[in-house]
Amino acid sequence: MAEQEGLFAGVFAHGQVDTGSHAWLRAMLDTEAALARAVERAGLAPAGAGAVVTAAAAAAADTIDPAVLGRQAALTGNPVPALVRELTKLVPAQFANAVHPGATSQDINDTAAMLLARQALTVISADLAAAADGCATLAAAHRDTLMIGRTLLQQAVPVTFGLVAAGWLTSLDEARQALDQVRAQRLAVQFGGAAGTLASLGTDGPTVVPLLADELGLGCPVVPWHTDRQRLLDIAFACAGASGALSKIARDVTLLAQSEVGEVREGGAGGGPAGGVRRGGSSAMPHKQNPVAAIAILGCTRRVPGLVATLAAAAEQELQRAAGAWHAEWEPFADLLRLTGSAASWAAELVRGLAVDPGRMRANLDATGGLPLAEHVAGLLAPALGRVAAHDLVAQASARAVATGVSLREALLGQPELRQQLDEAGLSPGQIESALDPAGYLGAAGQFTEAALAAHARQAAG
């Protein structure tokens, strides 16, 4: 995983998803080894050929330099021909025909991509589950923790932090479900030979395909899918959905963690591996405590839509083998898996260590002097005054409260003309006081939070 340890890997290759060159090489060699075992099982290679090629492939994984294959790929347009030559050198002559029989380069590359996707989706799903568990803990602990809800970045009406965390939880659970469905149903071997007919294997080709699928634990497609790229798009779209759920959480945290808001803050290590560096520190400002995990998630997920767009554009592939579109997929596909995996890994850390400040939440809720409860008051007035008149009366009082720096209660009860309209509507000062209590205007927040927790428990139970 050396290339997973580059200058920016700490941010963009966080966690256990590996789609670097060595991972591609291992997946290609695993495919070649499985193909040798499959053709032996089909009676198309000598007894023992599968074991010999498998051993050679294992040795090749440690000795072949991906960079060398990469340079040789300039001669053939992809690295598989060079890989086949190197692998064949490691196999005794009597078993050499068991290397790459019937296959074309795209068969090996596409099947390797499916193996990479399986490993990556498994890791991503586990990290999404860990992040969801963290959200469930937050939702349960803060079911009744009051905070201000914000729409269009402005204060709206009261909500609970439990409901916020429940929203995160549900989106993660649904994203994980979509990933798991793709992993279970859409990963399949590719084996069609030069033009999708397996002509070089004669009538034995259809026998080998399910055997290859069995050897690798992948699905067996109805027909080769050389220029049908829906499987890759299904993976890409599932990753995009997961990235969207992760970026929503991260964006919320960056907004709630602002100094002027201060309702949450990231936890995490106070120190670091080098020179006393601490998480969240700044190179210029010693006081800074930046939300690094949230920022890293956003750095990863911001790149995902462009990668998905590239894969979608590359899905138009001509005839039996694409000229360039297939090639355009390799790096974006690997990057998409890596970045989604990195974001999911960061998210598991983020929610596990998220510190919530209920006192600051309440202070921010109270800071506008009851204005977020204007809708509640208007609703109480509507039966007597009509919806529009009630809205206008409370809007007038709200404007006065903002202009004079008083609370909404004072604006409503302190002006004789407004007080008179309230009296005529049959609302007492005590009713106004009750209407301005944020705890009394939470609607179904608690029930929604409990529903999300129950759904999560069902999914976790399988």
Distance in angstroms (rounded) separating the CA atoms of residues 362 and 359: 5
Catalytic position from the list 321, 352, 362, 419: 321
Question: Is 321 designated active site?
Answer: yes
Catalytic position from the list 85, 282, 428, 458: 282
Question: Is 282 designated active site?
Answer: yes
Tokens linked to 328? 């355009």
Q: Which residue type sits at 99?
A: V
**Three-class secondary structure assignment of the chain:** CHHHHCCCHHHHCCCCCCCCHHHHHHHHHHHHHHHHHHHHHCCCCCCCHHHHHHHHHHHHHHHCCHHHHHHHHHHHCCCHHHHHHHHHHCCCHHHHHHCCCCCCHHHHHHHHHHHHHHHHHHHHHHHHHHHHHHHHHHHHHCCCCEEEEEECCEEEEEEEHHHHHHHHHHHHHHHHHHHHHHHHHCCECCCCCCCCCCHHHHHHHHHHHHHHHHHHCCECCCCCCCCCCHHHHHHHHHHHHHHHHHHHHHHHHHHHCCCCCCCEECCCCCCCCCCCCCCCCCCCCCCCCCCHHHHHHHHHHCCHHHHHHHHHHHCCCCCCCCCCHHHHHHHHHHHHHHHHHHHHHHHHHHHHHCEECHHHHHHHHHCCCCHHHHHHHHHHHHHHHCHHHHHHHHHHHHHHHHHHCCCHHHHHHCCHHHHHHHHHCCCCHHHHHHHCCHHHCCCCHHHHHHHHHHHHHHHHHC
**In contact, 339 and 10? CB cutoff 8 Å:** no
Annotated catalytic residues are 282, 321
